[in-house]
Structure 1
Amino acid sequence: AARGVREITLLGQNVNAYNGEGPDGRRSSLAHLAAALAEIPGLDRIRYTTSHPNDFSDDLIAAHRDLQQLMPYLHLPVQSGSDRILRLMNRRHGRQAYLDLIDRIREARPDLALSSDFIVGFPGETDRDFEDTLDLVRRVGYASSFSFLYSPRPGTPAATMAAPVPDEVARSRLHALQALLTNQQVAFNAAQAGRTLPVLFEKRGRHSRQAIGRSPFLQSVHVDDADHLIGRIVEVEIVSGQQNSLTGRLPVATEDAMPPLRQRATASRAVGATPA
């Protein structure tokens, strides 16, 4: 932070299962860690990834409500919307538990944007199972997501399961899921048009004097005549939203409102957090 870092991302395979030790020797959860980081002067943004629904604690939900620095973007993989497939995947949570968790987090942070991971074509997946996944996606509404075809890994229980899904069926399902997720992402980005969002500028763009930054929702934001603002968080008027990015412009009075640029400013930095 003293070198100008404005944002950090806590990394872990199940980062919300973090079980560290605080300065007083007591157990420190991810929520405690985020609260401690929020006390660091100049550290304006905190993110974490990747989370598991089973490890999402009440204090972490409260942190999303109480910590201004904790960004309103959450990657929460579910993999499937079918209870039967979730059991076969050994996910140890059901679709309703996932939906209920989403409701509780959104109650704490109404502007939260969500992303997720999905696997299509898991052994034994039926048309009904896949429809359950599409239904869950429609219910949640994602700002972005990642979706993949199932591929067997030697040594895993799934690799020897019966009833593999034919490749052409799995690919057809993946295309249908990706079309739905893309529509949701486009709609979310388009809805930002007309808003003013704080953007952390990270790097220069392709065009002269253009800069690229990140919105609180992790969207890439392109702004002309802004390359002198790299390392700063600036209010940006969003002009339009595309599938993978936003286009913004600087308000007229931006220059007068800017604090002095920190020496050797660095836009973001990832910090690894080892889960328990």
Structure 2
Amino acid sequence: MPGWEMITNSSPIEILKNIVDVLLVWFVFYKLITIIKGTKAVQLLKGIFVILFARIFTEYLGLDTLKWMLDQVLMFGFLAIIILFQPEIRRALEQLGRGRLFARSAMQEEEERDRMIEAFTKSVSYMAKRRIGALISIERETGLSEYIETGTPLNSIVTSELLINIFIPNTPLHDGAVILQKNRIAAAGCYLPLSENPFISKELGTRHRAALGISEVTDAITVVVSEETGAVSITANGDINRNLSMDEFEMQLRQIWFGAETETSSTPFWKWGKQKNG
């Protein structure tokens, strides 16, 4: 076999260079795909592959006229790709200039965390001031798919405007829970299991019991805004921390969700919950 003979006749350094070469090409293609993922360029790329496959079939079937037409399309295709993919190419060059094309920096991850926390803080603050009831559950290690299936699928980016709009009274999705999965709003109007703990305070309503219930059977974090008082609470690991100020809410949500350390306290969240559960 020619391929096997070429490998056996090559030195170890040449073989290593070829392996590195292939891996780098694969890595570049992988990163390019991640850049265009979720953009209109994906559909355009599918169209290009259709044209290429059609060209192969015309060669095989002997369809000369159609083959000539496709050849003309491919001849000027490079220029068309530059025009059609101009936004994606510009974004890739900008990321390359910032050194972010081939690696997701710690700064980018921190920016995404800050964006998520800001969206939660802004929406919860808005709803608490206006006493708009809310129930938001965040999936962690334990899957929440069975509860997501009870609601209306959304698969949306987390924004404060969307969270607020979902819980506006008398809207179709306000009476239920929003569930986040992989940093996206997976579904709204979901049903969560109610806690069966007999020692729960009688003043807690259905939302708080549902928040405690999901925290007892999963490791999810759940945020509750009381419709009666506007009080903000967080549940996790079967505990509830009630009547949080917005500073406390942001600090505790950041700590338990992303494991961020705070300067004001080193007390774990679940101990905070027991301290303020009365």
TM-score (norm 2): 0.23
Higher relative helix content: 2
Q: Structure 1 or 2: larger strand share? A: 1
Higher relative contact order (CA 8 A, sep 6+): 1
- Structure showing greater Rg: 2
